[in-house]
Amino acid sequence: MSSHADTEFSKIIRCPVTKSSLKTADSALITSLNQQIFEKKLANRIGQTIAVPLEGGYINESQSLLLPIRGGIVILVEDEAIDLTEAT
């Protein structure tokens, strides 16, 4: 997604849990989360261990949840969100 398209997309999507706006996660966070996925230490909101590395993600305003990107698509499903307050 181009930077302009990404910015426009960010203006219209909302967190399915908090209803707040979302911003693109930075690459350092994605790298850190992917390391936890590799170590089988990262789960989604319903406790399922995440097995597939993240392509990217969007973070809610309070920076408590990340909505993953898979196959180029933002997964806006509450259960699939990653609780960043519990991520190590």
pLDDT tens string 4-19: 556 677 778 999 999 9
Query: What is d(CA 5, CA 32) in angstroms, rounded to the nearest whole number?
Result: 25
Per the structure block, which two tokens stand in for 18?
């908090």
Cβ-based neighbour number of residue 27 at 10 Å: 9
Eight-state DSSP code of residue 87: -
Q: Is residue 72 part of a domain?
A: yes
Contacts of residue 17, defined as CB under 8 A and 6 or more positions apart, other chains included, come to 45, 60, 65, 78, 81
For residue 32, the enclosing domain spans 3-83
Query: What is d(CA 16, CA 25) in angstroms, rounded to the nearest whole number?
Result: 16
Give the pLDDT mean for 50-63.
96
Taking the whole predicted model, whether its pTM rises above 0.85 is answered as: yes
Give the pLDDT mean for 48-58.
97
Give the pLDDT mean for 62-73.
95
Phi, psi torsion values for 47, nearest 5 degrees: 90, 5
For the chain, what percent of residues have pLDDT higher than 70?
Answer: 90
Mean pLDDT of the chain: 91
Q: Is residue 88 part of a domain?
A: no
For the chain, the domain total comes to 1
Q: Is residue 22 part of a domain?
A: yes
